[in-house]
Amino acid sequence: MTTPATARAASADPLDAVVKAPQAVASADAVPSLLGLTREKLGGALRGIGIEERQIRMRVNQLWHWMYVRGAADFSVMTNVSKVLRAELAEHFVVGRPEMVAEQISVDGTRKWLFRFPARGAGRPVEVETVYIPEEGRGTLCVSSQVGCSLTCSFCHTGTQVMVRNLTAEEIVAQVVVARERLGDFPAAEKIDGILPSEGRLVTNIVMMGMGEPLYNFEAVRDAMLIMADGDGLSLSKRRITLSTSGVVPAIAEIGAQTGVMLAISLHAVRDDLRDVLVPINRKYKIAELLEACRSYPGLSNARRITFEYVMLKGVNDSAADARELVRLLRGIPAKINLIPFNPWPGSAYECSDWEQIEAFAEIVNRAGYASPIRTPRGRDILAACGQLKSASERLKVRERLALAAMIGGAGGDDD
C-alpha cells in the first residue's frame, strides 16, 4: 500500500513539525529491481530479456553509472541508452526505490528515515530505519542490515524485536541511494564530468550499525558494500565503510577478505561471564576467540585499525578495573576504542554511567595510547541514537495510523 503524503500533511499532531510530509517514492509491486545487483547478476538480468551478449558489459556499465553516479530513479532519464531499450527495460524492471514512510530531522541536523520495503515471499511488508549524522567535515550514514535481530543483547532495543527477515542487497543499497537523494547528494548533471566522484559529498562514511547483525546476512551485506565501495558504483572509500558485528567469529576473516572494509566489534565487556549476558553470542564465541579473529583481520595495520565499541553501563562494565583489563586485552591489536554512553529505552534494565565515570574510564584507555572518543549521542529528540531503532518505528506507526485514520476513515497501515 502506498501512503498518501497528504494524509500526514493533514494531521493536526504538533509533532509533525519534525515529521516531513513523506512521499511514496515507489510502488511495492513485484517488478524486479536493478538496484543492488552485482555486475554479474545485472548482466544475467539483461541477458534474460534478450540483450545481445556483446552489449552486456557496456549496458551494465551504463546502468551502474546512471543508478549510482547520477542517482537516476528512472530509465527515462538515461539519455545515452536508446529509447527502444529504455522502454524495454521499463517494461521488465524498475530502478527500485522503497516507500519513504517518514523523514525526521533532529534539532542537531541528524536525520532519520523510515523506509518500507515490499513483502518477500509469504512475508509482509517491512520497515527499517536509516540515520544520517552530519559532523564537521563528514557525514555518516547508519544503515540497517536486517529487520529486527536474531540476537538478544540485553541493552539493545533492536534485540527485543523479533527477527523478521534479512534485507536484500537491493534494500541495503537503496537506503544509501535514497538518503543521498533526499540530501541532494547526487551531483547535478552539468557537474558530472570533471569532478571526482567523492568531491563535496554529504554522505562520506557508511556504518553498518543500524538494525540487525550484518554478518548473519553475509552475502547481501557483502554485495551491497561492494557496490558502495566500487569506483563506478557509489564510490565510497573502503576505509570509510565500517561493518559492526557483535562477534560472529567464523565470518570475520571472510568479510574482510571479500570486501576490505573496516571492522568494528561490539565488545562491551572484558569478562566472558558478563559478556555472556550483555552480548549473548559470546556464549558461542568467547572473547579470546573473538580477539584472535581480530588479530588476523585482513589488512589490519596502524592506519587501518579495528574499532572496539563499548557501551557504558552504570555499575556493570564501567569500573577502572574494567578499563585496565580492556587495555590489557587489546594489547597488540591496532585498535580504536569507542565509548558509547548507554541510550536508555522504555523498560531497559540499565542506566548510563555517570559522566565522571565515563571520563575516568576514557582517561585510563587514553593513557594506554588508544584514541577513545566518547560518542556523543545524536538525534536524541527523534530517537535516532544507537540501539533506539525500535521504539521509534513503533511510535511512527501509531502516528501513521492516526493520520491515515483521520484522512481516510480508519484504514490504517500494517502492523507487525
Name which of residues 212 to 231 contact ligand SF4 (CB under 6 A): 212-213
339 is a site residue for ligand SF4 (CB under 6 A): no
Residue nearest to ligand SAH (CB): 387
Assess whether 386 carries a catalytic annotation: yes
182/202 Cα distance (integer angstroms): 11
- Kindly tell me which residue out of 266, 282, 338, 388 binds ligand SF4, with binding defined by CB under 6 A: 266
Kindly state the cell numbers that stand for 7.
494524509
Q: Is 129 a catalytic residue?
A: yes
Min dist. Cβ of residue 375 to ligand SF4 (A): 14
SS3 letters for 123-161?
CCCEEEEEEEEEECCEEEEECCCEECCCCCCCCCCHHHC
Which residue's CB atom is positioned nearest to ligand SF4?
159
Q: Are 116 and 127 in contact (CB under 8 A)?
A: yes
> Is the CA virtual torsion 219, 221, 224, 227 positive or negative?
negative
Angle at 164 between CA 162 and CA 168, to 5 degrees: 145
Residue 265: CB atoms within 10 Å: 26
Minimum distance from CB of 318 to ligand SAH (Å)?
A: 13
Which residues of the chain form contacts with ligand SAH (CB under 6 A)?
153, 155-157, 209, 212-213, 244-246, 266, 309, 311, 340, 342-343, 386-387
Q: Are strands 99-105 and 111-117 parallel, antiparallel or unpaired?
A: antiparallel
- Asked if 307 touches ligand SF4 (CB under 6 A), the answer is no
Characterize 344-360 residue by residue with b for buried, 16 or more Cβ atoms within 10 angstroms of its Cβ, and e for exposed. Answer: bbeebebebbeeebbeb
Q: Which is nearer to ligand SF4, 60 or 151 (CB)?
A: 151
Q: Which of these is catalytic: 129, 170, 309, 400?
A: 129
Beta-carbon contacts of 258 under 8 Å, excluding residues fewer than 6 positions away, are 222, 226
How far, in Å, CA of 205 to CA of 191, rounded?
A: 22
- What, of ligand SF4, ligand SAH, none, does residue 379 touch, CB below 5 to 8 Å by kind? none
- The entry of ligand SF4, ligand SAH, none near residue 342 (CB within 5 to 8 angstroms by kind) is ligand SAH
Q: How far is the CB of 243 from ligand SF4 (least distance, A)?
A: 12
Q: Does 340 bind ligand SF4 (CB under 6 A)?
A: no
Q: Which is nearer to ligand SAH, 105 or 209 (CB)?
A: 209
Of 127 and 213, nearer to ligand SAH (C-beta) is 213
- Nearer Cβ to ligand SAH (157/180): 157
Q: Which helix H or strand E contains 244, and what residues bound it?
A: strand 241-245
In the list ligand SF4, ligand SAH, none, the entry touching 340 (Cβ below 5 to 8 angstroms by class) is ligand SAH
Q: Are strands 262-266 and 306-312 parallel, antiparallel or unpaired?
A: parallel
**Residues 150-189 as x/- pattern, contact with ligand SF4 by CB under 6 A:** -xxx--x-xx------------------------------
Residues with a catalytic annotation lie at 129, 386
What residues make contact with ligand SF4 under the rule CB under 6 A? 149, 151-153, 156, 158-159, 212-213, 246, 266
